[in-house]
Structure 1
Amino acid sequence: MVSDSKDHSDQLSDQEREALHQVELGIEHLHRAHGHLVSFHHDTGRAMDHLADAEDHLRQCGYDELADELRDEYLPRGVVTDDTADDTHAGRWSYDLLENYQDVFLADLVDFGEAVTQQVADGLRHAAERKQEFDWKARARRE
């Protein structure tokens, strides 16, 4: 267990520091994945906007059947379809995936990470990096 000092990373066991570090790295990678999911959402939206514009151009060129297919089959479709649904438009759109990731998956794991940090290290974040910083600075003064 840790004391009330501001930086008590040196009072944690190596195993505690490693456990905290692995949880922190996991959460950090989830945040990176979130960024990729935001990019996926934006890129999908931009692509669909281009396809919506293509519908008008196809119609103006006399390709009404292609324009209708784009309008009726592809533009309303979600990025993840529900194979059990009769309606091909029952799929989930990218914003829905993003919101679910943010509000459920990521939020729950961030809360878990904060609880681990609080319980193991009295809320001290980056304990492994703090210990490394201390060790490197101490070594630099000696050599």
Structure 2
Amino acid sequence: MNAHDDGPDRAHRRPAGVSDRTVEALGSLSKALETTERARGHLYGFHQLTGTADLELDRAVKLLREAGHHEWADRVETEVLGRNVIPGHWTFQIVEAYDDSYYQPFKDLERAAVDDLAGGRTHLYEAEMKEARRTAGHPDHTARPGA
């Protein structure tokens, strides 16, 4: 195996003419999108936890009625059960608005930048960092799977 065969696969090699600053900028853009992916996951967690709490209110209402606390059951049922979490919105509507107005445009822009500036090659910054940090020839530092 020659030295060129021991490096990253073609999809993770910098195209000719792509500068260090461009690779760094695309890495930063990708990192920002990855952070947004995490934020989106938290938003889905918020959505699911709020929904779970709302469904548990059905049980609370039932138990309050069985315990003879009809006024409290009525209050829970009318004041909290099924309530909007912000005016006019249940959590699914917040998730949809986030996806439509922020997440998808961000994702599309990042993809277009990588396509235009790096020939569609993703994770160049990370691939080059891996290459700089690995120990050539070490069995746990191979450049790619199956190497």
Q: TM-score, normalised by structure 1?
A: 0.79
Matches of 1:109 and 1:126, distance apart in 2: 17
Give structure 2 stretches of 5+ with no counterpart: 1-9, 138-147
Give secondary structure in 2 for the equivalent of 1:41.
helix
Higher helix share: 1
Q: How is 1:39-58 mapped onto 2 (pairs within 5 angstroms)?
A: 39-58=45-64
Matches of 1:99 and 1:23, distance apart in 2: 23
Give the equivalent residue in structure 2 for 1:97: 94
Matches of 1:141 and 1:36, distance apart in 2: 39
Runs of 4+ residues over 6 Å off in structure 1: none
CA contact (8 A) 1:27 1:113 kept: yes
Give structure 1 stretches of 5+ with no counterpart: 82-90
1:112 is the counterpart of 2:109: yes
**Cα RMSD after superposing both structures:** 2.0
**% identical equivalent positions:** 31
Which of residues 53, 61, 68 in structure 2 aligns to 1:62?
A: 68
**Number of residue pairs matched by the alignment:** 127
- Cα shift readout 1:52-105 (whole Å, capped 9, x = no counterpart): 210111112121111111111111211113xxxxxxxxx311111112222332
CA contact (8 A) 1:10 1:131 kept: no
Q: Name the structure, 1 or 2, with higher relative contact order (CA <8 Å, separation 6+).
A: 2
Which of residues 73, 80, 102 in structure 2 aligns to 1:74?
A: 80
Give the equivalent residue in structure 1 for 2:36: 30
